[in-house]
Chain A
């Protein structure tokens, strides 16, 4: 007899770690796009950062160094993308897809070379049980028995939202994305802001990849099967979230919840009586959620006015 109460708690608890990498990546992309630069390479950057953080953690035994290395790899890829798109003015879509292929290939290359006879695995970070709160029924195991990187992802989203909407820095970023000429006349260095935002986006994509390894799986897989489309989903979340870090929390969680429902139902065999189709149907749940959200929230969706438009000072 299926215990639907404990199944619901399992689904909700599993949804937050599945939300984490999508949330990190989407917040970074919010910043990049708010400044006017699209980065389609997130998926590859996440994959590269995942390998780098795994390998450094495995080699040094330090999660901290591994996390820094993953962030560093993402930052380097962000720098590359900002150079290509902001400095040189390469078409952002093409540059992003190039970045995706390049970062993915470097990660896979490194993995194949580094793992001739050793398959690196690190034990994912253990959950931190917050005193008192973790003992609460239902919300205790859901919200307060997660690992540090999960807690950090939500904190980062809130902090980045505050910076974007409550500080002069945020105002400059939004101005650069909406009307770069006006921002320039007001003394804002448009391209510097864009460089920094794209690098920040890469950094958070790196953190997303590192979190997938250090906070969830503890391993790497080649051929883009590790990130498995979550970088692309992060780009979709940015649109759902209407370029807001706060709304990105909800958008990323919708997908995390969708993945969680699929995996927990598959694992518990709830719909196994439906036969082979049940797995395929359940794996479609996140995307069904996406379509529902698009239908619910498509009105009023407006991208930053100068998104994908390079800025050249006259």
Chain B
């Protein structure tokens, strides 16, 4: 009797383990984030470019996944655009952990990928190190780089490339705030984000000198619950009626708090209206294609030496559509924004639009 029971239990155990293994494999295939890194390779069926297109293989590495509706999503969109426009073979790795960055880049380089694009500031150190080991592979670093350690096979985008967009967002916020208090939530304080914050602050004060610009730096990019409570405090204690989250998943909590309290939001990188259709006034867009497209064209044309080893200093920031707020924002404000955008070169030149950096965030107003 006991033996029969043991046999039946063993059979059940084997069946359960088999089901689990099959389920795990199925999930791993369908959603490779079940493993630490999700990789999808796109091999174009037709080449819209030249017959040499097939010689180009690009690998994109991002730290999160497309559900962020921000930097990661944008990177994947641009990679897909490269595949469809230039006929390149593109491999996208999402959810790349710090610990896998080096191994993944090395693997791509050894597999014959001749262009590796690391999209996220967390890749900077690894990219510098791996690029030195594979001089024949070209590396692209985004969204920002403020170091001085580029080898000839690396091109990077300068810090503060979204600052012009944040200045305009500041002008809009200064004109639209009713309480005279607006807030920015930044996941961690980096050079690039410092430049964006001070540009936003300058924009606010250019339109409304008496407005207060609050700043919170939670120190995490990945805790929406903390983001929610931080935002609630800024809304209830500091009376912020416009919030600007630059904080990835922590920022989702900010967006949730703002939506719950009907507080106005300004998104970042992509048009983030999808995250809060009712309260997202606009987004500071990052025109990544304006940087990537010339890089791709230099690679194809064999003129990499013109950009290799250099940091590209570009202004890629602009304001997105106003959606629900289109009828709320006065024409005079829209005119002011258009005029400011047109004068941006002069505003940068005379220091009105600052490129200010501080190693530590400023104290509250």
Contact = CB atoms under 8 A, between A and B. Distances in A.
Interface of A: 3, 6-7, 10, 14, 18, 83-84, 87-90, 98, 101-102, 105-106, 108-109, 111-112, 115, 117-119, 121, 123-124, 212, 216-219, 221-223, 225-226, 228, 230, 259-260, 262-264, 266-269, 272-273, 275-276, 278-280, 282-283
Interface in B198-234: 214-220, 222-226, 228-234
A89 B233 CA distance: 48
Given A267-B237, A269-B215, A221 B229 contact: no
Contacts of A117: 274
B289 interface: no
Contacts of A276: 188-189, 217, 219, 359-361
B361 A217 contact: no
Contacts of B232: 14, 267
A73 B31 CA distance: 20
Nearest to B66: A112
B236 A10 contact: yes
A88 B13 contact: yes
Contact of A279 (B219, B255, B274): B219
Given A88-B13, A217-B225, A219-B224, A115 B24 contact: no
A119 B274 contact: yes
B364 interface: yes
A227 to B, nearest CB: 9
Contacts of B215: 269, 272
Most buried by A among B27, B229, B259: B229
* Majority-rule SS of A interface residues: helix
B219 A280 contact: yes
* Majority-rule SS of B interface residues: helix
Given A7-B237, A279-B219, A283-B218, A218 B260 contact: yes
B253 interface: yes
Contacts of B276: 121
B260 A124 contact: yes
Interface in B4-29: 9, 12-13, 16, 20, 23-24, 27
Interface of B: 9, 12-13, 16, 20, 23-24, 27, 30-31, 33-34, 64-67, 69, 95, 188-189, 214-220, 222-226, 228-234, 236-238, 249, 252-253, 255-256, 259-260, 274-276, 359-364
A174 B66 CA distance: 47
Given A123-B260, A124-B260, A218-B260, A283 B33 contact: no
Contacts of A269: 214-216, 363-364
B363 A268 contact: no
Contact of B233 (A90, A123, A264, A280): A264
A216 B229 CA distance: 10
Contact of B230 (A84, A87, A266): A266
B234 A267 contact: yes
B139 to A, nearest CB: 25
A154 to B, nearest CB: 19
B223 A105 contact: no
Nearest to B276: A121
A268 B233 contact: yes
A83 B19 CA distance: 13
Given A216-B225, A259-B226, A272-B361, A119 B33 contact: no
B31 A105 contact: yes
Most buried by B among A87, A112, A121, A273: A121
Contact of B275 (A18, A98, A119): A119
Contacts of B255: 219
A275 B360 contact: yes
Contact of A105 (B27, B64, B222, B238): B27
B249 A267 contact: no
A84 B225 contact: no
Nearest to B27: A105
Contacts of A105: 27, 31, 33-34
Contacts of B218: 263, 266, 279, 283
A230 B256 CA distance: 19
A200 B356 CA distance: 56
A194 B214 CA distance: 52
A108 B68 CA distance: 13
A263 B67 contact: no
A228 B222 contact: yes
B12 A119 contact: no
A272 B229 contact: no
Given A268-B237, A279-B220, A219 B27 contact: no
B224 A221 contact: yes
Given A222-B65, A272-B361, A263 B256 contact: no
Contacts of B95: 223
Contact of B225 (A18, A88, A108, A121): A18
Given A219-B256, A222-B33, A225-B223, A267 B229 contact: yes
Given A18-B229, A222-B67, A228-B225, A217 B31 contact: no
Nearest to B272: A119
B238 A268 contact: yes
